Homo-oligomer: A and B are copies of this chain.
Amino acid sequence: MSEELRGNGESTAFVPGHVTSFFAPYPDDDPERAGSRGAGLTLTDGVEVTVRAAEDDAPPVTLDGDPIAMPPVEAVLDGLGVADRARVVAESDLPLGTGFGVSGAMTLGTALAANDRFGRKRSANDLVTLAHRAEVEAGTGLGDVVAQARGGVPIRLDPGAPAHGRLDGVPATRRVEYVTFGDLSTAEVLAGDTDPLVAAGDAALTRLVDRPTLPTLVAESRRFARDAGLLTDRVREAVDAVVDAGGEASMVMLGETVFALDSGLTDAGFDAEVCRTCDAGAHVTG
């Protein structure tokens, strides 16, 4: 197989979804140092991104068949020097804008698949850095890309791209359920006063590091959502219903979305989507 161009003319990458349990934003003038501390779950529900040669009559980027403008995806293609040569076709298990890191997944998946398709010879860390920078500069995410690159249940100890950030993880696997009621604007929340987020996020992280288990992660997420004032009525009611039924649930940061461990939402009577924590981080599939 040529290093310059794969024989079948296209390359595909899978990137897991990522639900952030809690976070503390850390902006920085350098987008490779900017990011967030926090923790979350990567999911077997994710985004499959295929990159092939550009076609005159096809839109450059599609998500589930529809043309879409994604500035961080375009920035990644530009960074790899293939902006006018690539077509990006993304298929997602997850809704956009509801807290699953679909934007980060499309961006990182584009980096992995375009590098493979066009033989750009970048390392894994280089591609994660490129995608992280693009997300930060577009204002679409702070921590999803590095978490999605790792897989599992990532703990983001320090913010930033691989050269600066530091990751750990909760060593566990679990069934995960979720329901989505609507979207929330990450940009809007981050444009407000973020001091309460930083205080609540850092406190939650300290407690999770002291006891890195899934029940701690979910309990700290509930406390964070409450302390940071992010709960909507529908989310609060659903989380309470799961907890009342003996389960573990919290709000997804940032979406009007609730996630639960095991069959927590089903047990509380919700018609939930079902997946698992994802053992693998983002990767080329072929």
A125 to B3, alpha carbons, bound, how many Å?
34
Mark each residue of chain A from 98 to 137: 1 if its CB lies under 8 Å from any CB of chain B, else 0: 0000000000000010011001011111010000000000
What are the residues of chain B within 8 A of A151 when measuring CB–CB?
280-281
Which of these, B121, B162, B284, contacts A211 with CB under 8 Å? B121
What are the residues of chain B within 8 A of A283 when measuring CB–CB?
152, 171, 173, 279
Chain A contact-residue range equals 35 or more
Which of these, B123, B212, B286, contacts A168 with CB under 8 Å? B123
Mark each residue of chain A from 163 to 202: 1 if its CB lies under 8 Å from any CB of chain B, else 0: 0000011111100000000000000000000000000000
Known: A209-B123, A211-B121, A215-B3. A171 touches B284 (CB 8 A): yes
A191 to B119, alpha carbons, bound, how many Å?
40
Tell me whether A121 and B212 are in contact (CB under 8 A): yes
A58 within 8 A of B: no
What are the residues of chain B within 8 A of A123 when measuring CB–CB?
155, 168-171, 209, 212
- Known A123-B212, A171-B284; further 20 A-B contacts with Cβ < 8 A: A116-B172, A119-B213, A121-B212, A121-B213, A122-B171, A123-B155, A123-B168, A123-B171, A123-B209, A124-B168, A124-B169, A124-B212, A152-B281, A152-B283, A171-B283, A173-B286, A279-B280, A279-B283, A280-B280, A281-B281
A124 to B281, alpha carbons, bound, how many Å?
15
A240 within 8 A of B: no
